[in-house]
């Protein structure tokens, strides 16, 4: 055990000892705490951003095959929500805040903090590159999902139209094939058929729209 601080220099160089013990390393404990808080704050924010990006990457790489109109619309909603996570404006603000904080803290006599500053700058650069890649992936998947929605909507509308045609054909067969046994009943049947034609006219236009879309 050393009897006094002077004996430190028998084992350590002056440059390895803090100034309060006679060395040349400048050490301010409050400054160290303040710097540590700033570094940890930005490091946590960037790590959270990285976790969010990794989650979105996994979501974008997933090959979704929605089998119905409802499922395809749910996929689109999830896809739109992902855009909020990869928004470039938020990342730009975070990286600007990091750059501003580092500029205020430099130069720093603590080599560990200097290494942390470099690490924060590297993370910002990595996240900016990752954001560009994710945005491209998001755009490409969005275009594919739009096509899927259009296909599933066409299938959904077509199924409804076919059901309507079958129901209408059955109604025509059941209710509008009687020619009547008198002039009066024939007139009634004729009017009923005209009413039936009016009812199906608008639906026929919708069928034409679906077929030609």
**Spatial contact of 84 and 11, defined as CB atoms under 8 Å apart:** no
The residues spanned by each domain of the chain are 29-154
* CA–CA separation, 97 and 156 (whole Å): 50
| Per-residue model confidence (pLDDT) at position 3 | 61
How many angstroms separate the Cα of 175 from the Cα of each of 105, 170, 188, 199?
Answer: 88, 8, 12, 14
Please give the pLDDT value at position 119: 92
Q: How confident is the model at residue 207 (pLDDT cuts 50, 70, 90)?
A: low
Tell me what pLDDT residue 24 has.
66
What average pLDDT does this structure show over 13-41?
76
11: confidence class by pLDDT, cuts 50, 70, 90: low
Q: What is the pTM of this model?
A: 0.67
Taking residue 156's Cβ as centre, other Cβ atoms within 10 Å add up to 15
Integer Cα distance of 101 and 42 in angstroms? 9
pLDDT, tens only, 93-152: 999 999 999 988 877 767 788 888 999 999 999 999 999 999 999 999 999 999 999 899
pLDDT at 1 over 60: no
Q: What is d(CA 182, CA 174) in angstroms, rounded to the nearest whole number? A: 19
Q: What is the pLDDT of residue 9?
A: 58
Quote helix, strand, coil % in the chain, to nearest 5. Answer: 80, 0, 15
Q: How far apart are CA 189 and CA 205, in angstroms?
A: 25
Q: Please indicate whether residue 114 or residue 193 has the higher confidence score (pLDDT).
A: 114
pLDDT of 35 over the 90 cut: no
Is the predicted pLDDT of residue 31 greater than 90, yes or no? no
Per-residue pLDDT reduced to its tens digit, 40-96: 999 999 999 999 999 999 999 998 888 888 999 999 999 999 998 888 788 999 999
Q: Which CATH class is domain 29-154?
A: mainly alpha
Residue 182, pLDDT score: 74
Angle 54-55-59 from CA coordinates, rounded to 5°: 115
187's CB contacts (< 8 A; 6+ apart) are 180
Residue 86 main-chain phi, psi, to 5 deg: -100, 15
Asked whether residue 162 carries a pLDDT value surpassing 90, the answer given is no
User: Sign of dihedral through CA atoms 142, 145, 147, 153?
Assistant: negative
């Amino acid at each position: 055990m050393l009897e006094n601080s002077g004996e430190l220099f028998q084992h350590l160089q002056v440059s390895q000892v803090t100034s309060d013990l006679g060395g040349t390393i400048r050490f301010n404990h409050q400054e160290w705490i303040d710097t540590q808080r700033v570094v940890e704050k930005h490091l946590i924010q960037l790590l959270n951003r990285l976790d969010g990006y990794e989650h979105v990457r996994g979501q974008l790489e997933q090959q979704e095959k929605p089998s119905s109109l409802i499922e395809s619309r749910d996929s689109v909603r999830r896809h739109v929500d992902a855009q909020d996570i990869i928004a470039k404006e938020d990342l730009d603000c975070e990286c600007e805040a990091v750059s501003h904080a580092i500029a205020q803290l430099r130069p720093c006599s603590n080599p560990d903090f200097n290494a942390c500053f470099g690490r924060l700058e590297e993370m910002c650069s990595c996240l900016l590159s990752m954001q560009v890649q994710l945005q491209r992936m998001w755009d490409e998947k969005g275009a594919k999902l739009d096509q899927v929605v259009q296909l599933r909507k066409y299938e959904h509308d077509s199924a409804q139209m076919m059901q309507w045609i079958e129901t209408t054909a059955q109604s025509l067969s059941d209710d509008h094939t009687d020619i009547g046994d008198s002039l009066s009943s024939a007139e009634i049947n004729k009017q009923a058929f005209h009413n039936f034609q009016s009812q199906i006219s608008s639906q026929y236009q919708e069928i034409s729209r679906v077929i030609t879309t």
